[in-house]
Amino acid sequence: MIETDILIIGAGPTGLFTVFEAGLLKMKCHLIDALPQAGGQCSEIYPKKPIYDIPAYPEILAGDLTEKLMEQCKQFEPGFTLGERAETIEKQADGSFIVTTNKGTQHKAPVVAIAGGLGSFEPRKPQLDAIAFYEDKGVAYMIKDPEVYRHKKVVISGGGDSALDWSIFLSEVASEVTLIHRRNEFRGALDSVDKVQELKDKGKINIITPAEVTGLIGKNKLEAIEVTKSGESPVRIETDSFIPLFGLSPKLGPIADWGLEIEKNAIKVNNALDYQTNIPGIFAIGDVNTYPGKLKLILCGFHEATLMCQAAYQIINPGKRYVLKYTTVSGIDGFDGTRKEAPKAVVKSIN
Amino acid sequence: MDQDIQIKITDRDGTSHAIAAPTDMALNIMEVVRLYELAPEGTIGICGGMAMCASCQCYVLTDHSLREMQDEEEAMLSEAFNVKPNSRLGCQIQITPEMEGLEIELAPED
């Protein structure tokens, strides 16, 4: 069981800045995120796009913002459970919470801060008849263990980076790789596009474009797919696996069943005070919350995180008085033993 | 207002809404849908308008000539679901005076 002071669900900009603000108040944080890396949308959707409304950064790439936030909170030694989705929450007799992920990892904390953005990123599933039946019986939306495909026939569909990269990778592992895309053009890193072209020329990847998978065939498991080239009749292709890679889309997911008040696909909070939800001890900050006048901006998430930490401090240190300290005056004492402080002025006579 | 144009948007439940869309605020169709709350928050404009999700996909029902599709939009639509020949991403279409009388329908949610 992982124990911490503030359990943060969502490792996007708001979640990462919470680590820093909590650290100033001597509270430790642990973050859970469904994505395999920190940064949330900033690293998953638009790492190379600029943001212009982060105070003091006239322009910063979303990926760089994530890096800076990681650097800023590093001395407060946050823990991470990445690639796992927070699934259930249970309130304990002592008032703390246990949050369990979809992989069974348990986390215990007196305060839970949901900084979940638009929700956890889930693969987008093509709308094909009986696709749910074939899940784990030949259909997969992400590749967890490439070895599963060794000496097997694989069909991948999609036209972006992940479809290209996995086609390249699996061409060395699988007995047959077929890549199906609705257009002739692929969108990805130039290297990957060139590599796929090379593998196609060598006969290591079959490419079918412009085409779409239109049917799944198989009795107890997937045995073949039906592919339709535009303007032609459907063709059957024998395969062991079908891997549609159409990107990820955020879903509020299991958090919606935690008994929290939800409005407009977001969690209602008290914005007059501390961004607490209807369940004491559970806060919601950043894009995931809603209140009158809410703006889904990173900078608003930072502010909400800061105020939330004050309330968390009172829960963790009941009755303890607190007075605001400025980092310029007090410096920062990291949990890793480091100390940052403003250089002291010298007192010296000038003769 | 003078700078408003009249357009019709059919929401995902099939209800048609006649609305006034301002042309002086640099809004796109996705933003107009949000302005009038014609689709629940969190189900439209998820990527914020970067043509990186297809949550604002719509079908253009009239024959207005709209801004030509750019590579990003075309690539995104090629991976979207429920795509028809008249599909566009609402976030890539700025509201202009020439769009008076435009009728669109929101594509189903993924």
- Other CB atoms within 10 Å distance of the CB of residue B52: 19
Q: Is the predicted ipTM greater than 0.85, yes or no?
A: no
Question: Tokens representing A55?
Answer: 């105070």
Q: Which domains does chain A have, with CATH numbers?
A: 2-121+249-340 (3.50.50.60), 131-246 (3.50.50.60)
User: How close B74 gets to chain A, by Cα (Å)?
Assistant: 9
Nearest residue in chain A measured CA to CA from B74: A183
- Position A107 scores a pLDDT of 98
Share of chain B above pLDDT 90, in %: 69
CB contact, 8 Å: A184 with chain B?
A: no
- Cβ of A265 within 8 Å of Cβ of B52? The answer is no
User: How close B96 gets to chain A, by Cα (Å)?
Assistant: 26
Helix H or strand E segment including A239: none
User: How close A316 gets to chain B, by Cα (Å)?
Assistant: 33
- Cβ of A264 within 8 Å of Cβ of B42? The answer is yes
Distances (CA, A) of A280 to A94, A110, B21: 13, 10, 42
Of A41, A182, A266, Cβ closest to residue B78: A182
Q: Look at the domain B7-106 and name its fold.
A: Ubiquitin-like (UB roll) (3.10.20)
Q: How far apart are CA A301 and CA A313, in angstroms?
A: 18
- Cβ of A127 within 8 Å of Cβ of B82? The answer is yes
- Position A231 scores a pLDDT of 87
User: How close B9 gets to chain A, by Cα (Å)?
Assistant: 20
pLDDT tens, position by position, for chain A (351 residues)? 999 999 999 999 999 999 999 999 999 999 999 998 999 999 988 888 999 999 999 999 999 999 999 999 999 999 999 999 999 999 999 999 999 999 999 999 999 999 999 898 888 889 898 999 999 899 999 888 899 999 999 999 999 888 999 999 999 999 999 999 998 888 888 899 999 999 999 999 999 999 999 999 999 999 999 999 988 999 999 999 999 998 888 888 899 999 999 998 899 999 888 999 999 999 999 999 999 999 999 999 999 999 999 999 999 999 999 889 899 999 999 999 999 999 888 888 998
Task: Identify the burial level of A299 via C-beta atoms within 10 angstroms of its C-beta, where 0-12 means exposed, 13-18 middle and 19 or more buried.
Answer: middle
Q: What is the DSSP letter of A11?
A: -
- Position A265 scores a pLDDT of 86
Closest CA to B28 of B72, B58, B1, B2: B58
CB contact, 8 Å: B47 with chain A?
A: yes
- Position A235 scores a pLDDT of 95
CB contact, 8 Å: B55 with chain A?
A: yes
- Cβ of B75 within 8 Å of Cβ of A264? The answer is no
| Boundaries of every domain in chain B | 7-106
- Other CB atoms within 10 Å distance of the CB of residue B28: 20
Q: How far apart are CA A248 and CA A246, in angstroms?
A: 7
- SS3 call for B17: strand
- Position A219 scores a pLDDT of 94
- Position B1 scores a pLDDT of 56
CB contact, 8 Å: B82 with chain A?
A: yes
- Cβ of B79 within 8 Å of Cβ of A185? The answer is no
CB contact, 8 Å: A79 with chain B?
A: no
Question: Tokens representing A72?
Answer: 């800023």
- SS3 call for B29: helix
The average pLDDT across B39-64 equals: 91
- Cβ of B110 within 8 Å of Cβ of A124? The answer is yes
Nearest residue in chain A measured CA to CA from B71: A187
CB contact, 8 Å: B19 with chain A?
A: no
Of A46, A264, A266, Cβ closest to residue B52: A46
Question: Given phi > 0 = left and psi -120 to 50 = alpha, else beta, which region is B48?
Answer: left
Given a contact cutoff of 8 angstroms between Cβ atoms, the answer to whether B7 and B102 are in contact is yes
Q: How far apart are CA A52 and CA B40, in angstroms?
A: 27
Nearest residue in chain B measured CA to CA from A158: B79
- Cβ of A247 within 8 Å of Cβ of B53? The answer is yes
- Position A264 scores a pLDDT of 83
Q: How far apart are CA B46 and CA B51, in angstroms?
A: 10
Q: For residue B15, what pLDDT band results from cuts at 50, 70 and 90? A: very high
User: How close B70 gets to chain A, by Cα (Å)?
Assistant: 13
Q: What is the pTM of this model?
A: 0.85
pLDDT at B2 over 80: no
> What does the radius of gyration of chain A's CA atoms come to, in whole angstroms?
25
- Cβ of A127 within 8 Å of Cβ of B40? The answer is no
Scan for tokens 């263990």, then name that residue: A145
CB contact, 8 Å: B57 with chain A?
A: no
- Cβ of A265 within 8 Å of Cβ of B43? The answer is yes
CB contact, 8 Å: B44 with chain A?
A: no
Given a contact cutoff of 8 angstroms between Cβ atoms, the answer to whether B102 and B8 are in contact is yes
